[in-house]
Amino acid sequence: MLTAVRVLLFRPPVLAPALALAAFLPTRQPIVSWPSEDPLDSIWEEPVDLPSANLFDGPWGSDRAPDPDAPFTLLRATAGRNRAGVLVTDPYGREWDVRASMRDAGADAPAEVVVSRVLSAVGYHQPPVYFLPSFTVDDGQSSGASARTHPGGRFRLHTPPLKDMGSWSWRRNPFVGTQPHQGLLAILLLFDSTDLKDSNNALYRLSLEGEVEHWYVVRDLGTALGHRGRSGSRDDDAARYEQSRFIAGLKNGFVEFANRSAHPELFQQCIRPDDVRWAGGRLAQLSDRQWHDAFRAGGYVADVADRFIRKIRLNIEDAQHVGAAEGP
C-alpha cells in the first residue's frame, strides 16, 4: 500500500491559477502521540535503489520545486529566535514556508536542505524542501511597484496530502530503541546537529484515496554542519564542522558522542555501536556525485562543499568502525 500511495503523492502537481489563500496558518500544534501499532515504515523504509537516488531534486522531484523566476505573493511574515521567514504563494497557488536567517540571510537554509536530501535518500521521510538563492516578493499593497528581491532561503511546500499534526517526542514514540530510531539520531550527530528538541520534529498525517498513514519526520534541520544559528559565512560553518568531533569513545557498551547538544539524554548511554555502524553503512553507499548533488541543492559552491564532504567521509569511517577492538 505504501508504494502505491507514494506513486500518487509524488506525481507532478496540476498547476491551477493563483488562489485566494488564508492569510495565516494555525499555530504549531503541541506534542501528540499515535498508537504504538504504527508500523516501522512510519519513520523509515529501506531504500529501493539507493545508488540511483537523486539528491539534487530530492524525492519530490524537480516538478514541485519553486520557480526561481516567479513572483511570490506575501501572505504574512513569520518570526523566530535569530531567524525570520515569510509565508508566500507562487503564481500557481502553491503555498511556501520560507525560512532564512535575520543576520545572514539563508545561513541555516543550505544545511537544512543538504541534511534533508540525505535523510530522504537513506529512507527517512521528508516534506518537499528546496533552496533558492534569491526570490521576488510582492507584499500586495500596490501591484508591481511593491515587488522586491530578497536573499533566498529554504522553501518548504505545503502540500494538501500531508497534514502537520504537531510535534512528536524523541523519548515517547513507537520506535524508541529500534535501529532506525537510533540510527536517525546517529546520522544527525554525524552531521553535528545540536538542536535536537522535540519541537523540531513533525508528525504528518498522510491521506490519499481513503488511505491514512503517519510520518514521523525530523523537519527543522538547519542547526547542523557547523551552523549554530548565528551570523557568519559558509566558510565559517565549514571550519567549525571540520573541527568538530563525532565519536568520543565507548562506555558501558554504548557509544559516547562529542556532540554538545543541550539534550545529551537522547544519545549518551543509549546508542550501541551496531546502531552507529548500521547508520554509517547506509551513508557510505552514497557516491561522491550524490554528496555533491546534495550540497548543490543547498546552494553550496564546489570548494566549500568539498570541505564538508571530506569531513563527512571521515565521520562515516568512524561510524563504520566504532566498537572494533582498536577503538573508534
Contact between 60 and 10 under an 8 Å Cβ cutoff? The reply is yes
Percent of the chain residues topping a pLDDT of 90: 66
Helices (H) and strands (E) counted in the chain, each on its own, are: 7, 10
Structure confidence at residue 66 as a pLDDT band (50, 70, 90): very high
DSSP state of 103: S
Q: What is the pLDDT of residues 271-306, one digit of tens each?
A: 999 999 999 999 999 999 999 999 999 999 999 999
Q: What's residue 106's pLDDT?
A: 47
Write a three-state SS string for 47-81. Answer: CCCHHHCCCCCCCCCHHHCCCCCCEEEEEEEEEEC
E strands, the chain, are 71-80, 83-89, 95-101, 129-138, 148-158, 162-164, 201-208, 211-218, 247-251, 254-257
Q: What pLDDT, in 10s, does the model give residues 1-31?
A: 344 335 434 444 433 332 222 222 333 445 5
Q: All 3 cell numbers of residue 69?
A: 523566476
Instruction: Give the model's confidence band at 145: pLDDT under 50 very low, under 70 low, under 90 confident, else very high.
Output: low
Identify the CA nearest to 200 among candidates 326, 112, 305.
112
- Please, are residues 160 and 96 in contact by the beta-carbon 8 Å criterion? no
* Residues pairing with 132 in the sheet: 153
Q: Has residue 98 got a pLDDT over 50?
A: yes
3-state DSSP call for residue 164?
Answer: strand
- Measured in degrees and rounded to the nearest 5, phi and psi for residue 216 equal -95, 110
Q: Summarize pLDDT for 226-247 with one digit per residue, the tens.
A: 887 665 678 789 999 999 999 9
Q: Where are the domains of the chain?
A: 2-10+57-321
Q: Is the pLDDT of residue 109 over 90?
A: no
256-327-292 Cα angle (round to 5):
75
200 Cβ contact partners less than 8 Å away, ≥ 6 residues apart: 167, 218, 219, 220, 221
For residue 70, what are the CA distances in angstroms to 29, 93, 97, 160, 252? 31, 12, 15, 21, 56
The model's pTM: 0.86
- Closest C-alpha to 315, from 191, 184, 194: 191
pLDDT, position 30: 52
Query: How far apart (Å, rounded) are the C-alpha atoms in residues 168 and 164?
Result: 11
- End-to-end Cα spacing for the chain: 41
Please give the backbone phi and psi of residue 201, each rounded to the nearest 5 degrees, phi first: -95, 145
pLDDT at 83: 58
